[in-house]
Amino acid sequence: MYSANEFPRLRLLEASLYRTTTRLRMPFRFGIAVMSEVPHIFLHCTWEVDGKIQTGLAADGLPPKWFDKSPRTSAELDIQNMLLVIRRAVAVARALPASSAFDLWRQIYDVQMAWARESDLPPLLALFGVSLVERTMLDALAREQGVNFATLLHQNLPGIRLGEIHPELAGRTPVEFLPARPLAKVTVRHTVGLSDPLTDADVTPADMLNDGLPQTLEDCVQFYGLHQFKLKLRGDVEADLARLRTIAAVVTRQCGKNYTFTLDGNEQYKSFPEFVELWERIISDRALTEFFAGLMFIEQPLHRSVALDPAIARIRAWRGGPPMIIDESDAQLGDLERALDLGYSGTSHKNCKGVMKGVAHRCLINLRNAIDKTAHYLMSGEDLANIGPVALLQDLAVQAALGNESVERNGHHYYRGLSVFPPSISRAILAAHGDLYTAFDGTARLDVRQGELRLGSVNAAPFGVSSELPMTGFEPVAL
């Protein structure tokens, strides 16, 4: 057991990057982007942990037009910039001496953010590179210590100093605010993309998949037992209202009154009055009144360039407005405090924005809720076509440890299980995570039952994934 001022020391020895292309079974439209295929990368690092050698793995898709939503850049340039920030974060980590996981993360973060400002790269994009190195570090640390992720946090083996992220938490530790045990299951909040078919009438014979998995929203509700949803907005009031009415009819027909949902603004609104107009149209629309009783919150309606501007984001002064959280605006340390001060209700967690930062965010939210019993600050689990065999499981491990019961999941809808990876990956995942995945036509697919995911094997693993996975069959990428 380590003392309060002594933590395992880590040093990066080697790093390798691998890439493959994953083709979606149907296009996914979000914001200004439409995805049909996406690069997926694996970062494999060898760490020295208190003098012992241990490997750590992280993975993620490289979705254009999320980290940087500039319409002026091409998808290929967006992908190259994502690889650039990964290479840069690895290079910074390689040059650092052995230290605690938190100290290493903070040093990488500070150097990376300064470089991003000089290079005119968005903070959210720069943070992505940091988060991948951070995830390999936490994976290696958990494996070397022989603990799962929740225990890693409870014992504070990374040496997290919460007060350096949120001054209100000075002198406090994660175990004071996090659940005593990670969640055994989470509710799947199913994303309805902007171009997703809602009923069979929306699917032409030429577009019919016939691959054994549901294609329409109506079929997904029945197949997976869904009762939570995330609905995308496009920023066109009339088009958004029309689609919301159709979705409302499908959901209520399938679920009765047993449903809840969130709206995702996708940064589509660049002024506060624009978004207020949409909301006022919604609440005055008789076809939506009853449906919107199930609204949980609205995610990032305002563009990141204005979302935290006190002169524009007049959230606190808006009487009768819905709960709103930030997502893309949660890039730099201090962004959550600024959002809460403006009147936002909270933030999202996704590993690509940083794990230890997300831990500190959950601790701050829980602290403020404890101080003000009338407050309803919240953290939502979110996703962007996140899939296994690594990224999804590590994300679920964090969501469970933080106590995020509602987690957006959509990768299992847009991909045909793990068929985009070599068959050896499916076999390994089925052997180790048979509660989370099920065999499906020669591959493994996520096993969503009654709208939930069971996390027993994820919580038992060091950091979501039970054992190392083979990197054979993937293309090496220069670092």
Q: Tokens 């980590």 map to which residue?
A: 93
Q: What is the pLDDT of residue 1?
A: 43
All residues at 6 or more sequence positions from 25 whose CB lies less than 8 Å from its CB, including other chains: 209, 211, 213, 414, 415, 416
3-state class (DSSP) for residue 26:
strand
Contact 401, 155 (CB under 8 A): no
DSSP of 419-442, one letter per residue? TTS-HHHHHHHHHH-TTTEEEETT
Q: Which ranges of the chain have pLDDT less than 50?
A: 1-2
Q: What is the pLDDT of residue 317?
A: 87
What would the pLDDT profile of 101-144 be if each residue is shown by its tens digit? Answer: 999 999 999 999 999 999 999 999 999 999 999 999 999 999 99
Look at the domain 174-467 and name its fold: TIM Barrel (3.20.20)
Q: Residue 267 pairs with which residues in a beta bridge?
A: none
Other beta carbons within 10 Å of 383: 23
Q: Where in the chain is the domain with CATH 3.20.20.120?
A: 174-467
DSSP string spanning 381-401?
A: E--SS--TTTHHHHHHHHHHH
Identify the pLDDT of residue 4: 52
Within a 10 A sphere around the Cβ of 390, how many other Cβ atoms?
23
Pair 415, 425: CB distance under 8 Å: no
Cα–Cα distance, 2 to 8 (Å, whole number): 8
Cβ contact 141:95 at 8 Å: no
- Where do the DSSP E strands lie in 244-303? 260-264, 295-299
Fold of 10-147: Enolase-like; domain 1 (3.30.390)
Q: 248, 281 in Cβ contact below 8 A? A: no
Task: Give bridge partners of residue 56 from the DSSP assignment.
Answer: 45
Give me the pLDDT at residue 372, please: 93
Span(s) in the chain for CATH 3.30.390.10? 10-147
CA distance 331 to 354: 9
The two structure tokens encoding residue 243: 């689609």
